[in-house]
Amino acid sequence: MGHRISKVILLGTGVTIPSKDRNAPGVLVNLDDGTLFLFDCGNGILRQIAKADVDFSKIDNILITHLHLDHTSDLGILVKANWLQGRQNTLNVYGPHGTKQMCELFFSKAYPYLEGVIPLSVTDVKPGPVVKNDRWSISCFPLTHGVSSFAYKVETEENKVVICGDTFSPVKGLSTFAKNADLLIHEVSFPDDYNYEKKDHTKPKPLGIEVEEAGVKTLVITHMYPACEGKEEQIVKSIKESYTGEVIIGEDLMVISLANKSK
């Protein structure tokens, strides 16, 4: 026990723009010993955690992919909720450079009544190892976005999952970082025919080439802008032109079991 990722819950598969169907980003990774990792904490994520029937106070590690609001705005709410529940153990927050400063400003300047209310450890990460013990490890890899953005890899003895923050595709080296992952969670913000030329978000065609090179078993699409609505089949078809693995269009509160996905 404790040497396997058992399931992944997609808490939010949308973006900043409000949607009736897609919450702002957040992913929960569950190990078979009950360990929980929360990746990103966008607006509404705390309520999504409740909808998923998960006890938020059991989450000890939060990993932020990048510091845009749709990925961070419920962090303060989560800290306050833990305080109100009487949390005594440390809540660990990891994120790109600036995460520590963001938390210091939030909890000491903007909302000083929350400063020190729970044990809080905040770490600015660099590419490479992030945190590990004898049952699991987490490492990160830099992506291409308007701000510093990371992909995180959770590895156990039995399997591994990669969660990407916002990024342009392809990213040199990502296929190596995600090599043979059982599950890769990656954005597709716009369909191929959408007029968006900035190199900070992903379209399906180049992503298909990238994940095929990585040998990923299952690709989960998330962070979908309204332009993707109604074009899900087109997006999958475009990816499958190059990628031979399974493609899942992520939906809020979708639970992905890794029981049959292993090295």
Could you say which of 40, 70, 74, 182 is catalytic? 70
Amino acid identity at 128: G
CB 93 within 8 A of CB 62: yes
DSSP letter for 114, please: G
- Residue 91 DSSP SS3: strand
CA gap 146, 123 in Å, rounded:
21
Query: Rounded to an integer, what distance in angstroms lies between the CA atom of residue 176 and that of residue 163?
Result: 14
Report residue 250 as tokens: 């992520």
DSSP tag of 25: P
Q: Has residue 196 been placed in a domain?
A: yes
CA distances from 246 to 50, 124, 125, 250 (A): 29, 34, 31, 12
**Does 263 reside within a domain?**
no
CA dist 261 and 263 (Å) reads 7
Domain presence at residue 262: no
Task: Please tell me the predicted confidence (pLDDT) of residue 2.
Answer: 52
Q: Where would I find the H helices in the chain?
A: 45-51, 69-72, 75-84, 99-105, 174-177, 204-214, 232-240
pLDDT attached to residue 261: 59
Name the domain count of the chain: 1
Domain assignment of residue 21, given as a range: 5-257
Domain-located, residue 246: yes
Q: How many CB atoms are closer than 10 A to CB 212? A: 18
In the prediction, which pLDDT does 259 show? Answer: 77
Q: Does residue 110 form part of some domain?
A: yes
Q: Return the pLDDT at 1.
A: 45
Does residue 111 belong to any structural domain of this protein?
yes
Q: What CATH number is given to the structural domain containing 37?
A: 3.60.15.10
Residue 96 falls within a domain, yes or no? Answer: yes
Tokens at residue 109, please? 């300047």
60 is catalytic: no
pLDDT tens sequence for the chain (263 residues):
458 999 999 999 999 999 999 999 999 999 999 999 999 999 999 999 999 999 999 999 999 999 999 999 999 999 999 999 999 999 999 999 999 999 999 999 999 999 999 999 999 999 999 999 999 999 999 999 999 999 999 999 999 999 999 999 999 999 999 999 999 999 999 999 999 999 999 999 999 999 999 999 999 999 999 999 999 999 999 999 999 999 999 999 999 999 765 54
Give the C-alpha separation, 80 to 250, whole Å. Answer: 29
- Distance between CA 26 and CA 63 in Å, rounded? 10
**Rounded to an integer, what distance in angstroms lies between the CA atom of residue 211 and that of residue 206?**
9
